[in-house]
Amino acid sequence: MNNILDFSARFLISILFFLNGIFKINNYEGAIGWMEGFGMPGILLTPAIILEILGPILIIIGYQTRIAAALLSLFCIATAVIFHNDFGDQMQLTSFLKNIGLAGGFLFLVVNGPKGLSLDKKLGK
């Protein structure tokens, strides 16, 4: 039962990023414009998409979980600080706190790693 819950938690924390990566591909020009509106160079969109798609896949299958979770935790903190720092706007504050909370969830994976239903476990890592 614990392995199923662990797998479910890895899936649930990851799916948001996977879907956002797909959304960014489908709305590439719009995503670049949004990023540039915050003073970020549009060239950073491609690495963000790669991280948002590859990171969740690795976490869900449980391969190199700690590394992928660490990178996504840093990504969450960076995006919170860069894109959601208008605390006078309730939606921005909520988005900031959501990203910080997700960073904490990913840090939990960094510390504990995946459990039984993972490639890391099967490969003896």
The residues spanned by each domain of the chain are 2-113
Tell me, what's the pLDDT at 94? Answer: 97
CA distance 8 to 59: 11
Tell me, what's the pLDDT at 115? Answer: 85
Tell me, what's the pLDDT at 123? Answer: 87
Tell me, what's the pLDDT at 124? Answer: 80
What are the pLDDT digits (tens) for 16-26?
999 999 999 99
Tell me, what's the pLDDT at 5? Answer: 93
> Are 108 and 10 in contact, with CB atoms under 8 Å apart?
no
Low-confidence ranges of the chain (pLDDT < 70): 125
pTM (2 d.p.): 0.93
CA distance 90 to 84: 10
Tell me, what's the pLDDT at 83? Answer: 95
CA distance 20 to 48: 10
> Are 24 and 45 in contact, with CB atoms under 8 Å apart?
yes
Tell me, what's the pLDDT at 125? Answer: 63
